[in-house]
Amino acid sequence: MSAYVRAGVGITQRELLRFVQQRGRFIAALVRPLVWLIVFAAGFRAVLGVAIQPPYQTYITYDVYIVPGLIGMIQLFNGMQSSLSMVYDREMGSMRVLMTTPLPRPFLLSAKLMAGVIVSIVQVYAFLAIAAMFGITFTWQGYVAIFPALILSGMMLGAVGMFLSSAINQLENFAGVMNFVIFPSFFLSSALYPLWRMKESSLILWQISSANPFTHAVEMLRFALYGKANWTAAGIVAAVLVVFLVLGLWGYDPSKGLRVRGRPSD
């Protein structure tokens, strides 16, 4: 087994072990979207009606429509929490130990990012299993097709968080930035309501939501759950991933990063 494989497996095992030990994090990851699914959807039925027509030309209930948005919510929160752990590891010194291993820094950071994505995928499928108990199901093709979409969207959201963590020195500051990023990204998207409905309400909000990368991540997941591919959304998500991954790797470069102001390398 090569050093790269051993390092990747070790980083992934560490993230999974940390996730298993933090039971509150797992419960919160499931309870949060379930509350929205059960309670929030009930209120929106009165506003949007019992059925809507998404781009794939199939009438569905609002409960089913909201599921991809809640999946995006899971990955969004997980991406920010994984980045929060990077800030914590940096303060505790374990990040410095990781970065001093005889492997390229971009590989180590990408492996840590991918490990966080794997954790989010576990949460997503657990959420889909519980949603199925409430009668909200999809075809088996959809459950399979969403897997690569989850990897791409999870990597993008994780890369955004990694870039933010590279620019923030203190744990307390990052916790505040998380809320500033999470809630606008989620509410100004198609996670809870179709873009055409938002356009009827406000053209400005529709334009902001259309430019929101999280919107395209949700639409990619929504199409994937129905066994279809939204290549436009996937392309935008991939482009945003590349941009923020490059920025994140640059931010963690001790000679070029945003935190290089007389501080020691970590």
CA distances from 54 to 75, 150, 153 (A): 22, 20, 20
Question: At residue 90, does pLDDT exceed 50?
Answer: yes
The 3-class SS string of 206-250 reads HHHHHHCHHHHHHHHHHHHHCCCCCHHHHHHHHHHHHHHHHHHHH
Average pLDDT in the 135-153 region? 92
Question: At residue 58, does pLDDT exceed 60?
Answer: no
pLDDT at 266: 47
Out of 73-87, 141-155, 215-229, 233-247, which region has the weakest mean confidence (pLDDT)? 73-87
Gap between the Cα atoms of 213 and 202, Å rounded: 19
pLDDT at 157: 93
Please, are residues 142 and 224 in contact by the beta-carbon 8 Å criterion? Answer: yes
Average pLDDT in the 127-155 region? 90
Gap between the Cα atoms of 69 and 75, Å rounded: 10
pLDDT at 95: 67
* Candidate ranges 41-45, 93-97, 132-136, 226-230; pick with highest mean pLDDT: 226-230
Question: At residue 215, does pLDDT exceed 90?
Answer: yes
pLDDT digits (tens, 9 = 90+) for 15-33: 777 777 766 666 776 777 8
Gap between the Cα atoms of 191 and 106, Å rounded: 32
pLDDT at 30: 72
Closest by Cα among 40, 48, 42, 37 to 197: 48
Q: pLDDT band at residue 264, thresholds of 50, 70 and 90?
A: very low
DSSP-derived secondary structure letter, 150: H
pLDDT at 260: 45
pLDDT at 179: 75
Average pLDDT in the 173-190 region? 80
pLDDT at 227: 86
Domain ranges (residues) in the chain: 3-251
pLDDT at 135: 82
3-state secondary structure of 264: coil
